[in-house]
Structure formats: structure tokens, C-alpha cells
Amino acid sequence: MSEKPSHIVIIGAGHAGGTAAALLRQYDFQGPITLIGEEPIPPYQRPPLSKAWLKGEADADSLALKPLEFYAENGIDFRPNVQVTAIDRQAKGLTLSDGGSLSYDIAILATGARPIRLPIPGADLDGVLELRTAADAEALKAALGPGKTVAVVGGGYIGLEAAASARSLGANVIILEREARILARVACETLSTFFQTYHEARGVQFELGASATGFAGKDGKVTSVILADGRTLACDLVLVGVGVAPNEELAKAAGLECARGVVVNLDARTSDPSIFAIGDVAQRPMPIYENRMFRMESVPNALEQAKQAACAITGRPAPAGETPWQWSDQYDLKLQIAGYPFDADQILVRGDPTSNKFAIFHLKGDQLQSVEAINSPPEFMMGRQLIGNRKPVNASRLADTSISMKEVAA
Amino acid sequence: MAKITYIEHNGAEHVLDVKTGLTVMEGAVKNNVPGIDADCGGACACATCHVYVDDAWLAKTGDKSAMEESMLDFAENVEPNSRLACQIKMTDALDGLVVRLPESQH
């Protein structure tokens, strides 16, 4: 056997890829690591882009996962502004967009996802923006300001967070949502109603059941959104936040199994044992939901999978299966969600939504599947534990705020 | 710059110079100190940057917010000197701070 240490190439320098590189060094992997990113800067946190960054409360240093020097100091060859354009799995070689090539012993796909672009006229006008990268956030920040009107297409978390930040910057906000309610795909009706009411009270205007069919502009710059019902809404800029698509083309072209994401096992390994896939691009089994396959777009998911891959590569025991969770900050609201409401047959609300402090529990029989908590850390923390340990829950006690969450779970 | 000593659960010490204004969590994460996961990146949403502040420094790190208090209340192995490292901002007054890390953040 060859004694030469393996060369690991991480394809994609987002939160998942950057974390995988750092964990491999924490776990004493000694071989060379190459980290390839298409953006000009080293891995950074995306969640603040729609929040603290937009409001000018975070700088580039605080966004960065690690300072730039970290990579060189730790023997990680970080290559910005480069994409991998092809994987030759037989030769274990990669073709790069700068004309170069690389060989690998182990590759980790961390190519993430990209915002879905609306296939409608005017989508390429100046001022029609999306929010995924630091450069996107910079463009959005530059375009926002007091008195500006931003039309947000898509009432999902990105749109709502950006709306809250835009309001605090003095901009006018109109949110256009195709469905009958905001957050239709990702939250229950009670939560949708709560967020809409909260935003409305802070001056955000909503157009529900409204499809944008085009954007009109002047001198190449957007000036209005055209709706399916014929109305036009004047605006200074548009933020499109209608979901993301996994960047799986590279994997597909290399013949790796893909199904709305690159399919991986519990070690984050793809159908090729030398290639892993982590983060937004991966379609992965979830142990706490009977290994049901799904694709998640969250930082906790990126971190967990980076850990899975790094453990598998360095021969460490696999991390214990996690309870998926995510969060969203809007105004002074902290939303924390744990689990997914699969097969839930009962929804109960603990606390009073009008107090801006409540939690929604989704139960399947006496088992907790998911919790959505607003400004309610105990409900989130204990709910997350109950989802993970599958302990039976008494629904009437859970709904009773006079019984503490610790007592409910006892 | 201010000095922070992070002591892992296994006793390994990391003495680092951290820019004032950064949090104790950021100081650990940016220097790849194992044992602070910081899943949420400092949003006080996850309680995975739990540390034990050396008693000599506890008073100087200030008071916990209600949010931090109630997140910590549900973390594992909480002690009176437990803090969430993302909620302690480094100042010159904290130069020399010593924090210990729990066995696990989950």
C-alpha cells in the first residue's frame, strides 16, 4: 500500500465546505487539502446577509468563518474564483474553469444551491436582485435606503428577513406571494398568519395569490412589477426569493446518483465511495425520521454533514443522528424550528400568539415531530430534545403554560 | 487584542490573542479551537457555544440576557459559571480571560 497521504479536494467553499476543511484538521487529518470556491472570498456565514449585514451591523471579518490566513497556516490550499467543471471518476481527476486540473483521492462536493430565477420578461433588468452571496447582499444593501420601494417576490424566510431589515433602513416593502399565504411550504398556517400580521404592523404591504408575470423598466433599470391580474406595482428594486435549486449538475454529469440533490448515505458518501456530498446539494437520510431522504438548506445541516464526512474520512465514529433545526430573526422576533411535521395528526399552540411569545407543536400520536417557537427558547430547547429522544408527550400538559417545559418533559 | 485561554475538556490549552469587539465564541471558531460548535454563528439560537467562565472573571463578563439565560437553562451540564460564548464580547477589561469547555455541546 502507498504511504502517501490522501489528497482531499473540497469542491465548493461555502459553510459546508469551509467547515469540512477545518474539521479535517481538527480531526488530525495530515494530508493535503484543496478548497475550491467560485466566490472571491474565503468561506463565510450566509445567514447574517439578510439581517445584520444588510443593516450594517456586521463586517466582512465577522462574516468570515476563519480569517484568510487560517487556510495557509493549516495547509489548506484555498483557491478562490475557480469552479470545477468536470469530474473524471476513473482517473480521479478534476477539470477547473481556469484551465487547470487537479487529481484527488477523496473529493467532497459542497457546491450548494443557487437561487431560482424567474423565467419572466424583465428578469435581467438592473435592480432585479437575488440574495445568496456576499456580493448579492452588497448590491442589495447599496440599492436599499430610506424612501426606496422594494418589491420582494416570494414570501419565504429570505424575503421576510430582508423585508424586516429593509424596513429598519426606512425602505418601503411590498411582498408578493404566489400562494394564498406566506411561508406556505415551510410553516403552518398559524405561523404564516402571525408573521404577516407582525410585518403589516411594521408597514410591510402584502399581495397574496399574486404572481409576477414580468418586470418593466426604464433605461435598463427596473421600475415596476407586472402582476398576472394586470396590475403594475411601482418599485425601485426587486428582490427575488422564490427558493433554490441544488447545484448537482457536476455530480450528474459524472454519473453520480442524483435525485433532486446528490444522493448520499449516513456518512455523506455518494454512490462513488471516493466522493462525498454535503450541505445544500446533498439528498441525505435522516436517522430520526426512519432514514427518510431529504435535502435541507440550513447551516446546522451543513455542519452536521461536514462532521459526517470528516468523521468517515478520518475513521472517527459517526456523529450521533441529529434533530434538524433552523432559525430566523425578524425585527425583535426569534423563530426557532426543530424537526419536521411529518405525518403529524395534531397541532397545538402553547402560549398566546398575540403576546409574540408562543410555540406551535406538531404531534404524531404522542410523539413530538416538530416545534416552531417564537421568542420561546425553553419550548424550542425542550421540544428539540423530545423530538430527538422520542419520549411520549402528554398533549394537554404541553398546551398548558402553567406547567413548565421541564415538567412537561419529566 | 486581548488574551483568552480556552481549556478543552481534555485539558488541552489554547492561548489566543483575540481582537476586541469579537465574541469569545468568534475567537474560538476563527482559530479552530475544538469544542465550541457555534451552530448558529452567534444568534443566541442554539446553545452550542457553552463555556464555563473562570470564577475570577465571571463578574467582569457581565450579566446574561433573558434569552441567554433561558437557552442555557436547557443545555447539558450547566453550572453557575456557565455562559454562551457568543454573548461575551471581548474588551480590554477581559484581557487574560480563562474559559473551560464542556465535554460536549449537545
Domain that holds residue B70: 2-100
C-alpha cell at A242: 422564490
Task: Tell me whether B29 touches chain A (CB under 8 Å).
Answer: yes
Task: Tell me whether B39 touches chain A (CB under 8 Å).
Answer: yes
Q: Are A169 and A137 in contact (CB under 8 A)?
A: no
Mean pLDDT score of chain A: 95
Two domains, one topology: A8-114+245-314 and A128-242? yes
- Which residue, B74, B73, B77, B72, is CA-closest to B102? B77
Measured in degrees and rounded to the nearest 5, phi and psi for residue A306 equal -60, -40
**Which residue in chain B is spatially nearest to A388 when comparing CA positions?**
B106
Return the H-helix or E-strand segment holding A377: helix A377-389
Q: pLDDT-based confidence at A320, cuts 50/70/90?
A: confident
Task: Tell me whether B58 touches chain A (CB under 8 Å).
Answer: no
CA distance B93 to chain A (A): 21
CB atoms within 10 A of CB A209: 13
CB–CB contact B30 A67 (8 Å): yes
- Which residue, A5, A348, A381, A122, is CA-closest to B39? A381
Look up residue A239 and give its amino acid: L
Task: Tell me whether B30 touches chain A (CB under 8 Å).
Answer: yes
Q: Are A241 and A152 in contact (CB under 8 A)?
A: yes
Task: Tell me whether B76 touches chain A (CB under 8 Å).
Answer: no
- Tell me the domain boundaries of chain A: 8-114+245-314, 128-242, 332-409
CB–CB contact B46 A47 (8 Å): no
CB–CB contact B43 A327 (8 Å): yes
CATH label, A332-409, candidates 3.30.420.40, 3.20.20.210, 3.30.390.30, 3.30.460.10: 3.30.390.30
Rg (CA), chain B: 12
Specify the number of domains making up chain B.
1
Q: Are A316 and B34 in contact (CB under 8 A)?
A: no
Q: Reply yes or no on whether the pLDDT at B33 is more than 80.
A: yes
**Which residue in chain B is spatially nearest to A44 when comparing CA positions?**
B41
Average pLDDT over residues A112-123: 97
Q: Is B106 inside any structural domain?
A: no
> Considering only CB atoms, which chain A residues are within 8 Å of B46?
300, 325, 327
Residue A4: what pLDDT? 65
Q: Reply yes or no on whether the pLDDT at B69 is more than 80.
A: yes
Q: Reply yes or no on whether the pLDDT at A168 is more than 60.
A: yes
Q: What angle do CA A128, A183, A287 make, to 5 degrees?
A: 115
Return the H-helix or E-strand segment holding A405: helix A405-409
**In the A/B pair of chains, how many CB contacts fall below 8 A?**
62
Mean pLDDT score of chain B: 93
> Considering only CB atoms, which chain B residues are within 8 Å of A334?
43-45, 67
CA distance B23 to chain A (A): 10
Average pLDDT over residues B31-46: 88
Q: pLDDT-based confidence at A189, cuts 50/70/90?
A: very high
SS (H, E, C) A299-336: HHHHHHHHHHHHHHHHCCCCCCCCCCEEEEEECCEEEE
Q: Which fold has domain A128-242?
A: FAD/NAD(P)-binding domain (3.50.50)
CB–CB contact A327 B26 (8 Å): no
C-alpha cell at A371: 416545534
Q: pLDDT-based confidence at A167, cuts 50/70/90?
A: very high
Residue range A353-385, pLDDT digits in tens: 999 999 999 999 999 999 999 999 999 999 999
Average pLDDT over residues A315-328: 92
Residue B106: what pLDDT? 73
**Which residue in chain B is spatially nearest to A28 when comparing CA positions?**
B34
CATH of the domain at B62: 3.10.20.30
Residue range B87-103, pLDDT digits in tens: 999 999 999 999 999 99
HSE-up (13 A, CA, CB side) for residue A78:
23
Cα–Cα dist A319/A311, whole Å: 8
Q: What angle do CA A111, A262, A89 make, to 5 degrees?
A: 80
Rg (CA), chain A: 22
Q: Which CATH architecture has domain A8-114+245-314?
A: 3-Layer(bba) Sandwich (3.50)
Task: Tell me whether B13 touches chain A (CB under 8 Å).
Answer: no
pTM of the predicted model as reported, rounded to 2 decimal places: 0.94
Q: Reply yes or no on whether the pLDDT at A204 is more than 60.
A: yes
Compare CB distances from B45 to A48, A67, A336 and report the shortest one's residue: A336
Residue A267 to residues A174, A264, A278, B62, Cα–Cα distance (Å)? 43, 7, 10, 42
Q: Reply yes or no on whether the pLDDT at A2 is more than 70.
A: no
SS (H, E, C) A11-42: ECCCHHHHHHHHHHHHCCCCCCEEEECCCCCC
Q: Are A387 and A373 in contact (CB under 8 A)?
A: no
Q: Reply yes or no on whether the pLDDT at A3 is more than 80.
A: no
Residue A1: what pLDDT? 43
CA distance B30 to chain A (A): 4
Q: Is B105 inside any structural domain?
A: no
Residue range A135-148, pLDDT digits in tens: 999 999 999 999 99
Which residues does A7 contact at the CB level (< 8 Å), separation at least 6?
Answer: A31, A32, A33, A34, A103, A104, A105, A106
Residue A321: what pLDDT? 85
Residue B76: what pLDDT? 86
